[in-house]
Amino acid sequence: MKPSFYITLLSALFSLQSFAQFDGSKHQSNAGLQLKNRILLVQYQEFKSDNALNYNTFIESALSKIWTLNDSVIYVNNTEFAVLKMKHPKHNNYAYLKYSTYDKVNEFPSGSLVLGLVDEPNSTYFVHVAPFDEKGLNTADLVFGLELLQQKIKRATATPEASKWTDSIIAQPQIIDFKNKTLLIDQTLTSSVVQKSIPQFYKYDFEFATKTRIDEALLNRDPKFIFLRAIPLTTVPTKSKDYSDEAGVQIIDNNIYFSKTYETKIAKSEMRFVNAILQADDRRLLYIGKPKQGDNQVELSFFETLSNALN
């Protein structure tokens, strides 16, 4: 398979997640450098629910394991964040990290980790992780999302030569990364038909694993394992609806006229995924499949294409 195919998909992994990333590479690079040099404010979830308490515990654990961009990290509630945001608004020394629990049209979908500059609200990076009310959201999900965020910043601030090197390391999957490892396949991502047929194409060790089993290998950085994961890229609008709103009142010749404005908003959307195989110990991307919409299930063609690339 041609290297350019993989480079294109790598671009999808790190850029298609965003609806509204920075405009212009210079702005992106400067904002990325500022993010690295600031104090990071991490916003807690304040909903009175087990999910919120779990998230607050998970995000602390995930950040302590892998976050290297900021030397100083402060955990704050909404009130504390607002107070710090108001201090010296034009020369703010803070970046922020939060978890979005609602869809923000044209910016980021619900279930996203959002990283940005406090004094530049339009300068944000985000990665979609999982819906807040999903039972599966845990430390491993957040670790993976945070590492994608860090990778985005590193790529944004890297020299062109460094970026080319990053692309080249997955230009072609290497047999050595597969033959001495056990591939953990999330059992919920494959149908029984696909599970029975995988050995026709994949000739190395693999096992169908629970999410917990995969998370343990990921968090423990176990070098014996590689794992297959469905990575959310972005939401794709599939249905829109026109909404009207009273915009104003005019009085002409003693007659009252109400003017309305019409705006098209997203009424329904689907998530776009890419299935990928990564190294458990360093999370290195070994292979990525084609982006697909609405369904994160792994098809047999994924393994057939991988087999062709390895041979």
Residues 202 and 297 in one domain: yes
The answer to whether the CB of 272 falls within 8 A of the CB of 237 is no
Q: Is residue 299 part of a domain?
A: yes
Same domain membership, residue 199 and residue 126? no
* Domain-located, residue 117: yes
Q: Is 66 a domain residue?
A: yes
- 122, part of any domain: yes
What's the confidence (pLDDT) of residue 196?
92
| Distance, CA of 164 to CA of 100 (rounded, Å) | 32
CA 160, 161, 163, 164 dihedral sign is positive
DSSP 168-233: HTTSS--THHHHTSEEEEETTSS-HHHHHHGGGT--S-EEEE-HHHHHHHHHTT-TTEEEEEEEEE
What Å distances lie between residue 76 and 83, 122, 215, CA to CA? 10, 21, 27
Regarding whether 278 and 151 lie in a shared domain, the answer is no
Number of domains forming the structure of the chain: 2
> Is residue 243, in this structure, part of any structural domain at all?
no
For residues 35 and 122, membership in a common domain is answered with yes
Residue 84 and residue 193 in one domain: no
Q: What integer pLDDT is reported at residue 100 of this predicted model?
A: 80
What the block records as the tokens of 123 is: 């300068």
CATH number at residue 117: 3.40.50
Q: Which residues, 6+ apart, have CB-to-CB distance to 223 below 8 Å?
A: 279, 280, 281
Same domain, residue pair 19 and 93: yes
- Supply the pLDDT for residue 109: 66
Domain that holds residue 206: 173-235+269-310
Per-residue pLDDT tens listing for the chain (311 residues):
443 433 344 444 544 444 333 333 344 556 677 888 889 999 988 766 666 667 888 888 888 888 888 889 999 988 888 888 877 666 678 899 988 876 555 556 677 888 888 888 767 777 777 655 555 566 777 877 887 788 778 777 765 554 443 443 344 667 778 888 999 998 888 888 999 999 999 999 999 998 788 888 888 889 999 998 877 665 555 555 544 444 444 444 444 444 444 444 444 556 667 788 888 887 777 888 777 666 678 888 889 888 888 87
* Residues 191 and 149 placed together within one structural domain of the fold: no
CA–CA gap between residue 117 and residue 94 (Å, rounded): 7
The DSSP bridge pattern shows strands 182-186 and 255-279 to be unpaired
Radius of gyration of the chain, Cα coordinates, nearest whole angstrom? 22
Residue with tokens 């343990």: 216
Residues 78 and 184 in one domain: no
Give me the pLDDT at residue 252, please: 46
Chain centroid, CA 160 distance in Å: 23
Q: Does pTM surpass 0.85?
A: no
Domain boundary among 166, 201, 220: 166
